[in-house]
Amino acid sequence: MGIRIGICGTGVFAKTFIKLFKHHPRVEKVVLCDLVPEKLKETSRQFEISETCPSLDELCQRSDIDAIAIFTQNDRHAPQAIQALRAGKHVYSAVPSAITMPEITELVRAVEETKLIYQIGETSYYYPCAVYCRDRFRKGDFGHIVYGEGEYYHDLGHGMEQVAKTRFGDDWLRHIGMPPFFYPTHSVSMIVSVTGAHAVKLSSMGVRFFRDPGMPDYFNVTDSVYKNPFANEGMLCQMSDGSVARINEFRQVGHTGRRGMVGLRLYGTKACFEDQVGNSMWITGDWKNEDITKLLDCGPAAPLEGWERAEAAKHGLNSSP
């Protein structure tokens, strides 16, 4: 018998996964769940999925559901994952897993006590550069890792305002100023998915939001849910394997927001990997540099999203793949 999955949250992000679950050969059934009836009805029609559920509470009670995939607002991931686990359902969750340390502790406890599967959907794990470096690391080609860099450069102007408005409605401005390191998965995953090492000690610093005339006050400390003034944050980590890693999460940065948005550089005693805005190099200590850009190119770029097409057109660029 195949897996029967309930999908909690049917917004823009969820829609990129619904079709994957629906067509997966090992998925027997997909049930859609959302608190907003209009959204639930439209998504059901769009993907031709007849079975729907009006709330997570009811979804958790259904005996014909084995697992629940969570694609709701960031601050709801942990409580909803814990609820699903306690209801006897395996869980797939969009990033981040949680917002607070008590949530993380309770989530780990729920997994340990229920012995069910919890999977976090961290996409950086499958980036070509991460897959390539993981393979070479396992073969010992890097030698001992001494230093790594991982970053996620996602300017607020690159679609994040639109996402916040969709998620929070008229209250969106109070929610958009989340501390960058409350969403560290894309950058941190670049290092830990290759080496398996974790941070044992770190030092972090932030850069305050620069508000230009006419710009919304994205990081309004007075009214914000998070009371956070920092648009960009960076940290230097001592890793469990003895190496050092630098991690950046930036939300106000003049960056393309496309190629090179998520970056990795990794340095070992025998060889190094460098990736800069889509140009990838394998470098060894015997003066040999290998351009592996084409090797890591998975084919045509994915179609640009609506905000990306608008930005490309604004700058006179071709927005087609």
The angle subtended at Cα 317 by Cα 314 and Cα 177, nearest 5°, is 50
- Four-way CATH pick for 124-314: 3.20.20.80, 3.30.360.10, 3.40.50.300, 3.90.550.10: 3.30.360.10
Q: Where in the chain is the domain with CATH 3.30.360.10?
A: 124-314
Strands 90-93 and 27-33: unpaired
Residue in 252, 247, 251 with CA at minimum distance from that of residue 234? 247
- pLDDT of amino acid 255: 80
Domain boundaries 3-121, corresponding CATH code: 3.40.50.720
CA distance 273 to 211: 36
- Give pTM, 2 decimals: 0.84
Asked if residue 150 lies in contact with residue 263, where contact means CB atoms within 8 angstroms, the answer is yes
Asked if residue 140 lies in contact with residue 195, where contact means CB atoms within 8 angstroms, the answer is no
Residues whose CB is less than 8 angstroms from the CB of residue 212 and which lie 6 or more positions away in sequence, other chains included: none
- Encoding tokens for residue 31? 């049930």
Q: Where in the chain is the domain with CATH 3.40.50.720?
A: 3-121
Q: What is the pLDDT along the chain (321 residues), one digit of tens a residue?
A: 799 999 999 988 899 899 999 999 999 999 999 999 999 999 999 999 999 999 999 999 999 999 999 999 889 999 999 999 999 999 999 999 999 999 999 999 999 999 999 999 988 899 999 999 999 999 999 999 999 999 999 998 888 888 888 888 899 999 999 999 999 999 999 999 999 999 999 999 999 999 999 889 999 889 899 999 999 999 999 999 999 999 999 999 988 665 668 899 999 999 999 987 668 889 997 778 899 988 888 765 555 555 455 555 654 555 444
CA distance 266 to 162: 34
